Amino acid sequence: MEMDWKGNMAELGGAFMLSWVVLGMGGSGVGTLIGAATLAVAWMAFSGAHLLPVVTWCHMMTGDMSDTEGNWMANGMRLVFQALGALVAVLLMTEAGSLDTPTFVAPEMWVADMGSMMWPVITMMAVGAVWWQIHTRCDSEWVSALGLMALSGVGIHLDGGHMMGSMLADGGTQVADVVVDWIMNGLVVGLGALLGMKIDEMIPDGDDTSAE
């Protein structure tokens, strides 16, 4: 597979910018008005970049599942460069150190019994379905970012790249917890995006009704 250096460097630069804001705002994150504005600006500045792992996972799940190189490997590299961009931000903000406090604790729902997992997972899938329709239907980065902010209070981690970068800077002390959530959080939201896309495809357009 030929490396998309331009696209991957856009991911790195945008993720660096977002992580800098997450750290500079004391961890308030992308799901705030300032965070959403920063995300919209970053999307415009780094055109074509996903910047957030959940966005990349949505592209993976709604893309060609059989395309190993074009879908899975290309998007996988985007995830890697998002983590690298966040890592650079953490190292600069901490002067080549790590964050003083644990950056992440994996949510209990990923290791809990199926009954307690069901509703949080369904909620996250519903959010993925709704937001992906907003993201793919609207040409404005501002609308997409504000939509993501509005739907962010349901346990979805929008700063997964920052968590990965922080974990790497900390020497991988929480690698299991962070990686499990990084995968599961994005996968569930991506499945929701896929579900929303399939539902939209099944709904006939108003102009498709045949004349009697």
- Has residue 208 been placed in a domain? no
Q: Contact 54/183 with Cβ under 8 angstroms?
A: no
- Has residue 66 been placed in a domain? yes
- Has residue 210 been placed in a domain? no
- Has residue 212 been placed in a domain? no
**What string of H, E and C letters represents the secondary structure of the chain?**
CCCCHHHHHHHHHHHHHHHHHHHHCCCCCCCCHHHHHHHHHHHHHCCCCCCCHHHHHHHHHHCCCCCHHHHHHHHHHHHHHHHHHHHHHHHHHCCCCCCCCCCCCCCHHHCCCHHHHHHHHHHHHHHHHHHHHHHHHCCCHHHHHHHHHHCCCCCCCCCHHHHHHHHHHCCCCCHHHHHHHHHHHHHHHHHHHHHHHHHHHHCCCHHHCCCC
Instruction: Report the distance separating Cα 153 and Cα 132, nearest Å.
Output: 16
- Has residue 133 been placed in a domain? yes
- The predicted pLDDT at position 211 comes to 45
Residue 70 sits in which domain range? 5-203
- Has residue 211 been placed in a domain? no
- Has residue 147 been placed in a domain? yes
- The predicted pLDDT at position 115 comes to 62
- The predicted pLDDT at position 167 comes to 86
- The predicted pLDDT at position 203 comes to 87
Structure tokens at 59: 């592209």
CATH code: domain of residue 105: 1.20.1080.10
- The predicted pLDDT at position 76 comes to 94
Q: Contact 166/83 with Cβ under 8 angstroms?
A: no
Whole-model pTM: value is: 0.87
Per residue in 183-206, pLDDT tens?
A: 888 999 999 999 999 999 998 876
Residues of the chain under the 50 pLDDT cut:
101-103, 105, 210-212
Instruction: Report the distance separating Cα 166 and Cα 100, nearest Å.
Output: 10
**Number of separate domains in the chain:** 1
- Has residue 157 been placed in a domain? yes
Per residue in 99-125, pLDDT tens?
A: 554 445 455 555 565 566 777 888 999
